[in-house]
Amino acid sequence: MMLPPSLEQLIQCFHRLPGIGKKTARRLAFHLLSTEGATTLLLADALREAHEKIRLCTNCFNFAEAILCPICSAPQRDSAIICVVEKPTDILNMEAGGFYNGTYHVLHGALSPLEGVGPEHLHIAELIQRAKTYAHEVILATGSSTEGEATALYIDRALKDTNIKRTRLARGIPAGSELEYLDEITLRRALEGRIHL
């Protein structure tokens, strides 16, 4: 099908986004062109503005518009507790429940020798320095993938000679799940980490 070049280009741009297939990309582009132009321009402006304004928090490397992100600059948050996550989205999930009152540190990735990601590519040095300066506890909340585990292990070792408490998020059975459908690794970890009642 011969599409006008600017429409084809818009579809290609949408298609480059994660989880957006060829058909969805087309649907989005056609939807925007079929509606009032305001929506299209609003999205274009929002993209440009976010690109220009968003930078990384100089303390925790979360997204921010100012020097510090909203969490690092909130006086009621306990800056002596640092929760280490791989991605800024992880913070959203942690914050959704409102059960955590400490601060974060975003590594922007996880160690992966196969993909050439070493400690120097992540914000690990900044974490170590920050932790040594004022942290009582570092919660290692990287993923439970091989890369996430390796990253947690690396940071744990780097902080070994300090008095800083190092913790890792508990492994076990997720809420609402039946034993029948759980994999054996999850079950083994849940058994190993069983708690006294």
The footprint of a second copy (CB under 8 A) covers 1-7, 9-10, 12-14, 16-20, 24, 26-34, 37, 39-54, 63-65, 69-71, 74, 87-89, 91-92, 95-96, 108
**196: which DSSP letter?**
-
Q: How far is the CB of 65 from a second copy (least distance, A)?
A: 4
Q: For a second copy, which is the closer residue by CB, 87 or 136?
A: 87
Structure tokens at 124: 């690990």
Q: What is the Cα–Cα distance from 98 to 76, expressed in whole angstroms?
A: 13
From CA 82, how far away is CA 105, in angstroms rounded?
6
**Closest to a second copy by CB, 43 or 191:** 43
* Cβ distance to a second copy smaller for residue 41 or 185: 41
Residue number, 16 or 194, with CB nearest to a second copy: 16
Q: Provide the minimum distance between the beta carbon of 127 and a second copy in the complex, in angstroms, as a whole number.
A: 18
Q: Are 61 and 106 in contact (CB under 8 A)?
A: yes
Tell me which H or E stretch contains 5.
Answer: helix 5-15
